[in-house]
Chains A and B, each alone.
Chain A
């Protein structure tokens, strides 16, 4: 039994942490958010230069061959800096579909572009009615000779704003909520028939809603077996929850630490508010919840890498995370008082980001339900 990072993993974590500390001050980030694209191409190039994009890809695909431990190490540090560049949505999420399902010629075309950072990828799998059910797909893909024709709408496509290439789930057979019949496609974002509605998310990220009208996709861009996309989607979602969860655990650490520090300097009734026992109890509980959710993250990472009880462990983690996000997040705002509500202070930005992560790939209630189902 070993809960420590290897030397290599420690170095990776430190290099990400150094980047966040030296190049990602809160004011730098604010400037990035103000820019037209909402993220920095320069930072994306730094990620590629430092070889962070290659982490999740296998050595034979030209990557580093990292496990979930490396993913966690990078994302936890990104979480501490509230990094908004589309690293998660392109490298981890869209990249994960390619890693898990692409054939060798598809891998050869796409993976190098993600690793060298020259193209941005995004995944489109949510629909208005689907909520968090990955099999609930109305978007259709009809085979016409050597092509498929895609029709339907996808919502909340993270990084969809700037994406060059999309991974899209569409139904090739069956009814909207059938488990079978979901297929995955690699689609160039500028293909005729795709219309985009760009928007910002509440936590400062950029995303898009996409509409597909008779979008022609060659059969060579079918990702994995026709109709068997659900297993891949679920596998991808598990890894995505680990990555986003690690980001949230990093951000939650900052939230409780900043709250403690603020309570030592904020004076009311002639003493630092951190001297008040009622607030000390709350901050102790924030610390405890962080210890617990970090343990749960480690559990999920180790189960994921060992391939044991993956889906059930992921749901357990997401339930614990949902609780920690609400408890630590809400109390961070409460203890900061009015200043915690402002846009000026970073605390509110951490709160918004973790709240967003709480919902992504299923909120607490969804995963509690799923945990119960998987326990049967």
Chain B
């Protein structure tokens, strides 16, 4: 029993560090240092830089141009990514639709879609949630009716993150309304430029437009865009949940955020002293830090079990629940530090009339808006209550 990296792992870490220090493009570096917002072009530039190095497909096997890294190597990568404030890659193409295409798509689909995902030539969004299908996702109503070599899609998706930037959407659609709700669902890829698709932005409480409604009005989709078999979509969607959970705890980025909060506390005046000398704040900070250490070791414990061949179990729900709770507590700490200064409204739409990809606060700016925004984490990806239900059923047998 020991928690040390092997020599090989240390060498790997140095290689990552060196790459981040030397190859992060200057324009991005300066934006990150100044805490300026990042736009789509920045994200594309960074992913292309990584793709050139062969590191864009972090979770991908080598045969598709991925890294083939072990779980431990991925953990080290995420740790360094956070420590260097390097942006993470947008997951919808790389780690959501791509693994499904790899596992269940045909050869034509693989060669058609995977290279463009890896190189950030094509952006994807996720068409899962609907107004009447949130936690109860399987009750979705968007229909796809076969018409010769096409499907005709009608319905509405919602909470579609970054749909305004997406070229394609992967959708769960109902292809058989007469069977049990889980077995009548198919997994369909749809070109966002298809006639009949209408994207309507949803303005959120932090002022951002991260998510959208996507309407489908008799949208004609070629049947060759169906993944795997018709009516097997629910199985494919669940495959994702059990297979790719690395990074779900967000421990690496939470550790980095905590470091920044500490640095900020030292420079935040409070009376004649600083907030770092405020005993109530210090205790609150320590409590979050301690909970984060526990989560870090839970993460490592699960990772170590999975590395020795055990299948990732529903225990990873623990990582989602605790990880998101900690992310939220960190936003509270930043708001505590900021006091009035964190409550000045900043419009996410910049002078260039373009909206930043995500809300990024530097220092105490935007503390309240980030607090509002991060409430989403305990709701998305299977709300924390749903996760607790999974533990109750799958682990405790209730």
A to B contact number (C-beta, < 8 Å): 123
- B270 interfacial contact with A, CB 8 Å: no
* A260, B283: Cβ atoms closer than 8 Å: no
Residue of B nearest to A374 (CB): B286
A298 x B1 contact (CB < 8 A): yes
Query: How would you classify the secondary structure of chain A's contact residues: helix, strand, loop or mixed?
Result: helix
Compute how far the CA of A5 lies from the CA of B388 in the bound complex, rounded to whole angstroms: 29
Additional 17 contacts, C-beta under 8 A, given A4-B1, A372-B279: A1-B300, A3-B301, A280-B396, A281-B389, A284-B388, A284-B389, A284-B396, A287-B318, A288-B388, A296-B290, A299-B3, A306-B3, A316-B290, A319-B286, A319-B290, A368-B286, A372-B286
- Which 8 interchain pairs have the tightest Cβ spacing? A295-B297, A284-B388, A280-B392, A295-B298, A284-B391, A3-B304, A292-B294, A296-B294
Q: Number of B interface residues, CB 8 Å?
A: 41
Q: State whether the Cβ of A277 lies closer than 8 Å to any Cβ in chain B.
A: yes
Residues of A within 8 A of B297 (CB): 295-296, 298-299
Q: Which residues of A are found within 8 Å of B322, using beta-carbon distances?
A: 288, 292
Q: Is B385 an interface residue (CB 8 A)?
A: yes
Cross-chain pairs A/B with CB under 8 angstroms, 26 sampled: A1-B2, A1-B300, A2-B1, A2-B304, A260-B396, A264-B398, A280-B398, A283-B392, A283-B398, A284-B389, A284-B395, A287-B318, A287-B395, A287-B396, A288-B391, A293-B294, A294-B301, A295-B300, A296-B290, A298-B301, A302-B3, A306-B3, A316-B293, A320-B294, A368-B290, A375-B286
Q: Is A371 an interface residue (CB 8 A)?
A: yes
Answer whether residue A143 sits at the interface, using C-beta atoms and an 8 A cutoff.
Answer: no
Tell me the bound Cα distance from A227 to B9 in angstroms: 45
CB contacts (< 8 Å) of A260 on chain B: these are 396-398
Q: Which residues of A (231-271) have their CB < 8 Å from a CB of B?
A: 260, 263-264
Residue in contact with B315 in the complex, picked from A5, A291, A298, CB distance below 8 Å? A291
Assess whether A301 is interfacial by the CB under 8 Å rule: yes
A223 touches B (CB below 8 Å) = no
| B282 interfacial contact with A, CB 8 Å | yes
Q: Does A94 contact B (CB under 8 A)?
A: no
Q: Is the CB of B3 within 8 A of A281?
A: no
Residue of B297, B304, B315 ringed by the most chain A CB atoms within 10 A = B297
In the assembled complex, the Cα of A95 lies from the Cα of B398 at a distance in Å of 44
In this assembly, does A226 line the interface, its C-beta being within 8 Å of a C-beta of chain B? no
Partner pick for B398 among A275, A298, A299, A302, CB 8 A cutoff: A275
Q: How far is the CA of A275 from the CA of B398 in the complex (A)?
A: 6
Number of interface residues of A (CB under 8 A): 41
Kindly list chain B residues whose C-beta atoms are within 8 Å of the C-beta of A2.
Answer: 1-2, 304
Chain A residues with Cβ below 8 Å from B321 are: 288
Question: What residues of chain B lie closer than 8 Å to A92, measured between beta carbons?
Answer: none
Query: Is the C-beta of B229 less than 8 angstroms from some C-beta in chain A?
Result: no
- The answer to the question of A147 belonging to the interface, with a C-beta cut-off of 8 Å to chain B, is no
C-alpha spacing A284/B384, complex, angstroms: 11
Contact B283 A372 (CB under 8 A): yes
- Is A150 located at the chain interface by the 8 A CB criterion? no
Q: Choose one: A4, A263, A371, A372; the contact of B304 (CB below 8 Å).
A: A4
> A residues touching B (Cβ–Cβ < 8 Å)?
1-6, 9, 69, 260, 263-264, 274-275, 277, 280-281, 283-285, 287-288, 291-296, 298-299, 301-302, 305-306, 316, 319-320, 368-369, 371-372, 375
Check if A292 sits within 8 Å of B291, measured CB to CB.
Answer: yes
B1, A280: Cβ atoms under 8 Å? no
Q: Assess A299 versus B294: contact at CB under 8 Å? Given A1-B72, A3-B305, A288-B318.
A: yes
Closest to B295 in A: A292
Contacts of A293 in B (CB 8 A): 294
Residues of A within 8 A of B308 (CB): 4
Q: Are B385 and A281 in contact (CB under 8 A)?
A: yes
Measured CB to CB, the nearest residue on chain A to B393 is A280
> Closest CB of chain A to B108's CB: distance in Å?
41
Return the CB mask of B1-42 against A: 1 if under 8 Å, else 0.
111111001000000000000000000000000000000000
B283 touches A368 (CB 8 A): yes
Q: What residues of chain B lie closer than 8 Å to A288, measured between beta carbons? A: 318, 321-322, 388, 391
**A263 surroundings in chain B (CB, below 8 A):** 398
Contact B1 A301 (CB under 8 A): yes
Contact yes or no, B318 A5, CB < 8 A: no
B287 at the interface (CB under 8 A from A): yes
Residues of B contacting A296 in the complex (Cβ-Cβ under 8 angstroms): 290, 293-294, 297
Known: A1-B304, A281-B385. A274 touches B290 (CB 8 A): no
Most buried by B among A4, A9, A69: A4
A147 to chain B, nearest CB (A): 46
B75's closest neighbor in chain A, by CB? A1
**B388 near A280: Cβ-Cβ < 8 Å:** yes
Is the pair B290, A371 in contact by a Cβ cutoff of 8 Å?
Answer: yes
CB of B291 within 8 A of CB of A320, answer: yes
A232 to nearest B CB, angstroms?
26
Min CB gap B135→A, angstroms: 13
Q: How far is the CB of B270 from chain A (nearest CB, A)?
A: 16
